[in-house]
Amino acid sequence: MVEDRGKEVVVDIQSVEDWLCHAQELVPVAVDKAREVKGFPGRWKMIISKLEQIPSCLSDLSSHPCFSKNSLCKEQMQAVSKTIKEAIELAVLCMGENYGGASLGRRVILMLYLVSWI
């Protein structure tokens, strides 16, 4: 996959299996970070629950006979990895906030929605 980002061109040379491993490595980090968040406890419990379901979903997807051949699987692994990474970043942000605030609360709700669709 080639992306044109302004003047630089980014070429993705990682295989779908590389993206799968990357996503699998990110899940425990995301769960650990999410457990450290003190604000929005109910929402973060739901996010943790969804994150904990990801490994079995990844396993199911990767066991499909066309997993390595289908470009949509690679795109899905990239999207899953990005979403998990965003969950980690949001958890870190929430750990740094004293009370949270409405904007941060909306981001937590959005993350819950995104993780639900993985």
- Give the C-alpha separation, 48 to 72, whole Å: 26
Give the global pTM.
0.79
User: What is residue 52's predicted lDDT score, i.e. its pLDDT?
Assistant: 94
Question: How do strand 8-11 and strand 2-5 relate by DSSP bridges?
Answer: antiparallel
- Give the C-alpha separation, 2 to 21, whole Å: 21
User: What is residue 9's predicted lDDT score, i.e. its pLDDT?
Assistant: 46
Q: What are the boundaries of each domain within the chain?
A: 2-116
User: What is residue 116's predicted lDDT score, i.e. its pLDDT?
Assistant: 67
Distance set, CA 10 to CA 2, 19, 116 (Å): 6, 16, 29
Helices (H) and strands (E) in the chain, counts: 4, 2
Residue spans of beta strands (DSSP E) within the chain: 2-5, 8-11
pLDDT along the chain (118 residues), means of 10: 49 84 96 91 90 94 92 92 91 73 70 68
Paired tokens of 71 = 């470009």
User: What is residue 65's predicted lDDT score, i.e. its pLDDT?
Assistant: 92
